[in-house]
A and B are shown apart, each in its own frame.
Chain A
Amino acid sequence: MFRVQNDPIDLNELVRYVTDAEAGAIATFIGTTRNNNEGRNVIALDYEAYPEMAEKELARIGAEAAQKWQIQRMAIVHRLGPVQIGEASVIIAVSSAHREAAFAASRFAIEEIKKTVPIWKKEVFEGGEVWIGTQTGQPLTQR
């Protein structure tokens, strides 16, 4: 399950999806919206995607994780549109026979998402808004 959506993400849906009789572990990661960034009071984050390619890249990350570790199933869902403070912007769930693979694959997935998946984040803060990443001129990692 590799998806972007405007609705709130349901953790249980992802857990059900990766539940597998041969799995002895399910690891989940939830990325949430923080109320502060670089000294600014953040009101909300607004996510925008190139949706077809974002889902394709999420699936690519899943395929790569499956090559690196012995995982059973994986799900990644990223939220789009305005996300309020404390809500989940991304959830990853991975099942595996043994816990080490599930931990490693979920860690790998969140790091990769932040490098190659075309999803952008606008931070709405007290006194303004800014597209994150575009002010520093920091280069993306070209695969």
Chain B
Amino acid sequence: MKVRVKFFAILRERAGTGEVMQELSEGATVNELWQALQKAFPKLNVPGIRMLYAVNQNYVGANDTLHDGDEVVFIPPVSGGCPR
């Protein structure tokens, strides 16, 4: 199966592209996709970064299963700003 991955912000810069189609085996999880992407784009490994995951524009867990045609986005920390 194939999924569409979109990169934004720091991940877009590190991947050097905003979008990639990734081939995965059936039943692959979000986390397995991330492992595959890190092999394809070694610079995606940002030390200490904590991310959220979105599939088809909804937040999901790292162990959720992907399906053919899914749009997956890895969400690094959002604009945050000061907590005060």
Contact = CB atoms under 8 A, between A and B. Distances in A.
Interface string A106-137: 00000001111111111000000001111011
Interface in B5-49: 6, 8-10, 12, 46-49
A69 interface: no
Given A48-B9, A118-B8, A139-B50, A134 B76 contact: yes
Given A53-B54, A137-B48, A137-B49, A122 B78 contact: no
Given A53-B57, A139-B50, A140-B50, A133 B80 contact: yes
B3 interface: no
A140 B80 CA distance: 9
Contacts of B9: 48, 120, 122, 131, 134
A133 B77 contact: yes
A115 B83 CA distance: 10
A4 to B, nearest CB: 12
Contacts of B49: 134, 137
Contacts of B79: 47, 113-114, 117, 119-121, 132-133
A46 B31 CA distance: 29
Nearest to A139: B50
A142 to B, nearest CB: 6
A40 interface: no
A28 B59 CA distance: 29
B54 A114 contact: no
A138 B78 contact: no
A13 interface: no
A143 interface: yes
A139 B81 CA distance: 13
Interface of A: 31, 47-50, 52-53, 56, 113-122, 131-134, 136-140, 142-143
